[in-house]
A = this chain, B = another copy of it.
Amino acid sequence: MTVKVIKIGEDILGANEEKARANRKRLDTHGVLTVNIMSSPGAGKTSLILSTINQMKEKVKIAVIEGDVASSVDAEKVSEMGIPVVQINTEGGCHLDANMVESALNSLPLEDTELLLIENVGNLICPNEFALGEHRRVMISSLPEGDDKPLKYPAMFADSDAVLLNKIDLQPYLDYDVNAFKKVVTGLNPDVIILPVSCKTGEGMEAWFSWLESGVKNKKER
């Protein structure tokens, strides 16, 4: 039986770009390395942020913006660690945008921040289309989601500087082909760094911390 394919075009908003450039300039002025963290729901964005704070907070001044459709459970966890945090509730919006981030920046101590981690809304479809003013884009893909995700959501993988392959501790219990995943991601994005990690067990996390730390260092030296 043949498969019929219907393609539906959709316009993408562009006015966001200008605001994102203004945010980035502001962040540059304060020397704040800003990382936009994207993934599907439950891939481990909050766990990654909490592990990163735990590991790096003595060395690096961190602030966080939490994006969610509803609730402030993630921001509360960050706040309990003594880190400045703003929760953005998009009330149905699928992604953060530069205007939302501008509002959040007004509530953060930028003069006393070296690293800003932004947790985007859990979504593999459109967050990559909306620049926030970030310097780095990080995508988390987790093993239980399946190794076909780069085929189905290619734009998110193509637009990232680093891809964290999370929950590798579950590999013995899943049918997941890490090499197949890496091959498709590298095909979409030859310059991407792929880091297999487990936020739960800590496996592979050193490479992530080093990558972040060298980014913070480079930002300060400029």
Contact = CB atoms under 8 A, between A and B. Distances in A.
A92 interface: yes
Interface size bucket, A side?
Answer: 35 or more
Contacts of A76: 3
A78 B52 CA distance: 42
A149 B41 contact: yes
Interface stretch (A25-33, A110-118, A123-131, A209-217): A123-131
A152 B91 contact: no
Interface string A72-111: 1101100100111111111111100000100110010000
Contact of A69 (B87, B125, B148): B125
A144 to B, nearest CB: 3
B92 A152 contact: no
Given A42-B40, A123-B94, A124-B41, A83 B1 contact: yes
A6 B103 contact: yes
A9 interface: yes
A180 interface: no
A189 to B, nearest CB: 15
A146 B100 CA distance: 26
A1 to B, nearest CB: 5
Contacts of A154: 70-71
A153 to B, nearest CB: 6
Interface of A: 1-10, 12, 40-42, 68-73, 75-76, 79, 82-94, 100, 103-104, 107, 121-126, 129, 142-146, 148-149, 151-155, 167, 169-170, 173-174
7 contacts: A1-B83, A3-B72, A6-B88, A41-B145, A42-B149, A71-B152, A143-B144
